[in-house]
Amino acid sequence: MTTLSDEYSALRRDVLVPLAERLERHIKVLCAGLDRIDRITARAKAVDRFLEKAAKTDGDGVPKYVDPLRQIQDQVGARIVVYYLSDVAPASAIVEKYLRAIETKDIVPDSEKEFGYFGKYFILLMPSDVYDNAVPLGSGPEFFELQIKTLFQHAWSEAEHDLGYKPSTRLTTEQRRRVAFTAAQAWGADLIFDELHRGIEAAE
C-alpha cells in the first residue's frame, strides 16, 4: 500500500524539486531590476517536515489536513532576502505585480513586549511560466509560499529554526529568553542599518 510518505517523496522528486528550481529562476528574472537583493532561493519541502505538518491536529485531536498533498501550501517555498527594511516594499511591489497573491501578511510577534519572527509572507498562485512539457501544468501544487526578509530577519529565523527543530530536547525558559534576546538584537540592527542607509542615500 502506498503511504503518504511514498506519495510525497515521489511528488517531491519528480515535480517539486524541478518546480522549485524553475520558480527560483523565474523570481530572479522578475526581481532583476531591484537593488540590494542578497539572495533569492526556492526549495521543495523536506519529506520529514511535510509528514510532521501533515500529522498536525487541532485542539480536539482532529487532523488539520484531510488531504495534505493538496492542502499544505508550502510544499514549494521561496524566499527573497533584501539588505534593509526599506528594501522590503519594492520587493513586495514586484511580487504583487507579477504574481497572483492569495494571502499576504506581515509577520510580527503577538505582543509589543515580545521579539521573534518578523517578515513579509505571501501565499501565491504558482505561475504558469514554470511549467512545460517535462513538468506539465497541473502536475504540481497550485500555490506556493514566499517570504521577504531582511538579512537580519533571515539570519535569525534560520538559526532559530535550527535550534527549535532539534528533536532531542525542548528549549528551557532561559534558552527561549536568550533566543528572544537575539531576535531583539536583530530587530534593532535592522532599524539602525536602515536609518544609516536612508541617511547616506539622502546625503548623496
What are the grid coordinates assigned to 133, written together? 512539457
Quote the least distance from Cβ 18 to another protein, whole Å. 14
Nearer to another protein, 68 or 116 (CB): 68
Quote the least distance from Cβ 99 to another protein, whole Å. 7
Residue 88 CA to residue 86 CA, distance in Å, equals: 5
Nearer to another protein, 100 or 177 (CB): 100
Whether the Cβ atoms of residue 76 and residue 140 lie closer than 8 Å to each other: yes
Contacts of 21 (CB under 8 A, 6+ apart): 42
Alpha carbon of 9 to those of 2, 49, 95, 108, 116: distances in Å? 11, 12, 29, 33, 32
Quote the least distance from Cβ 187 to another protein, whole Å. 30
What are the grid coordinates assigned to 112, written together? 509589543
Nearer to another protein, 41 or 139 (CB): 139
Whether the Cβ atoms of residue 140 and residue 69 lie closer than 8 Å to each other: no
Quote the least distance from Cβ 161 to another protein, whole Å. 23
Nearer to another protein, 116 or 141 (CB): 141
Quote the least distance from Cβ 101 to another protein, whole Å. 9
Alpha carbon of 103 to those of 3, 29, 73, 100, 200: distances in Å? 31, 23, 11, 9, 35
Nearer to another protein, 4 or 155 (CB): 4
Residue 57 CA to residue 136 CA, distance in Å, equals: 33
Nearer to another protein, 125 or 184 (CB): 125
What are the grid coordinates assigned to 105, written together? 501578511
Quote the least distance from Cβ 95 to another protein, whole Å. 10
Residues in contact with another protein by the rule CB under 8 A: 64, 66-67, 70-71, 73, 97-100, 102, 123, 125, 127-129, 131-133, 136-137, 142-143
